[in-house]
Amino acid sequence: MSPLDSYRRLFGLTGPAYVLVAFVARLPLAMSQLGTLLLVAGTTGSYGAGGAAAGALAIANAVGAPFWGARADRLGQRRIVAVQSLAGAASLGALLVVANSSLPWVWSAVAGAVTGLFLPQVGPMARVRWRPITSRSGRNEPHLVEAAFSYEGAADEASFVLGPALVGLGVSLASPTAALAAAAVVLAAFGTWFALHDTAILTHSVARSGTAPRGRLLTVGLVLLCISQFVIGTVFGSVQTGTSVLATDAGQPGLTGYLHALLGVGSVAAGLGMAALPPRWPLPHRLRWFAVLLLVLSLPLLLVDSLPTLVPTLLVLGVSVAPYMITTFTLGERITPPSRTGAAMTLLAAATGLGYAVGAALSGRLADWGGHTPAFAVTVVAGLVAVAVSWVGGSALRVGRAGHGSDRWEPAQRHTAL
């Protein structure tokens, strides 16, 4: 079956409205990180302060995500995601007030942390819904779940294309304040809509049934996957900061969002094409070679010295991003007990946010010292770590058929559970 046929059959199970709502609802998170960086950097004149505020938002989101994911596993997504959406929108409004006041920048970082704590991880929550959605169809089509994860990876990347682009548009037409205000409105409307959608009932039914075994969440394999996602988050944070510095030095700060969005263009295309990969290619092997590709394609960033040279570099680098992320999330879903999937998906997302925080803060400090090149060097180091983790620790990610689902997998060595 071609990727197009797989996606057509997959989306036929939910209808187009759900696909649209689930995509738009994840945009505020993508907008908030860059928006916070530009807002605080603009009001303070320091990339370090902007990176710290954006990093505080990402760290708090990383800390809160597993908590919310675990609550959703037990109580269902409806009430949890609805509370997050409304509280997150209100917190974004508070962040705007604090950042535009005369308070020291550290208070903006505090407000960013509160905002990040409540922002929902819509992408991971959407991934959790696909297995019960496909099971409800009554068809034994395991490939649909893998196609769903390929789509969700591409959708996440597309959101991180459109999100920064919308921030760039808001900065160009008005200000970072206007961009973040728009994000708050979108979150309140579409985040709540996603929370109350009928598909949430499926996960809620599983949570209430109590029939699925709880199982262990933290295994050596899942920890390695969290490190892998931490790496990709560091790539996002460092590329975003380096791009912001280069665009500002060129006198075009409003282009930052558009330029960073280029990273996701190739990533979206590569992510959608993942559904065509042969099933016989083991997931741990994919992760290894996608890590190598990430490293190789990040090296040209060290040679970038202008916006025209940055454009093709970001486009090509993006080809490695979605395949790497899709593989880690797919592995995470397969080595996790069904009743802990929400916690596992949000834990991986949390690692991504933590990596973003470290990447943004570290590259921001280095940019204050030496400009965009040291910031991009953080990206290359992240690629090196990705290669080391996937090749040295890949044996812990070997998977084999499990007995609790027709297409559910588990680690080959269960005694490695933490």
Identify the pLDDT of residue 410.
40
Q: In sequence order, what DSSP letters do the residues of 60-84 get, joined into one string?
A: HHHHHHHHHHHHHHHH-HHHHHHHH
Write the burial class of residue 206 (CB in 10 Å: 0-12 exposed, 13-18 middle, 19+ buried): buried
Match 């797919």 to its residue by tokens.
330
190 compared with 44, residue with greater pLDDT = 190
* Mean pLDDT within 12-19: 86
At residue 93 the predicted structure's pLDDT band, cuts being 50, 70 and 90, is very high
* Mean pLDDT within 179-201: 91
Identify the pLDDT of residue 9.
82
At residue 91 the predicted structure's pLDDT band, cuts being 50, 70 and 90, is very high
Exposed e or buried b for every residue in 358-396, given b needs 16+ CB within 10 A?
bbbbbbbbbbbeeebbbbbbbbbbbbebbbebbeebbeb
The C-alpha torsion from 344 through 350 and 356 to 359, rounded to 10°, is: -90
Q: How many whole angstroms separate alpha carbon 224 and alpha carbon 248?
A: 36
Identify the pLDDT of residue 117.
92
Question: Is the pLDDT assigned to residue 193 strictly greater than 80?
Answer: yes
Identify the pLDDT of residue 26.
93
Identify the pLDDT of residue 247.
86
Q: Which of 9-13, 97-101, 240-244, 335-339 has the lowest mean pLDDT?
A: 335-339
Q: Which of 108-117, 137-146, 339-348 has the lowest mean pLDDT?
A: 137-146
Identify the pLDDT of residue 415.
33
At residue 142 the predicted structure's pLDDT band, cuts being 50, 70 and 90, is low
User: Has domain 3-416 been given CATH number 3.10.180.10?
Assistant: no
pTM of the model: 0.76
* Mean pLDDT within 143-157: 81
Instruction: Report how far Cα 303 is from the mean position of its chain's Cα atoms.
Output: 27
Question: Is the pLDDT assigned to residue 211 strictly greater than 70?
Answer: no
**Mean pLDDT score of the chain:** 82
Identify the pLDDT of residue 173.
82
Residue type for 237, please? G
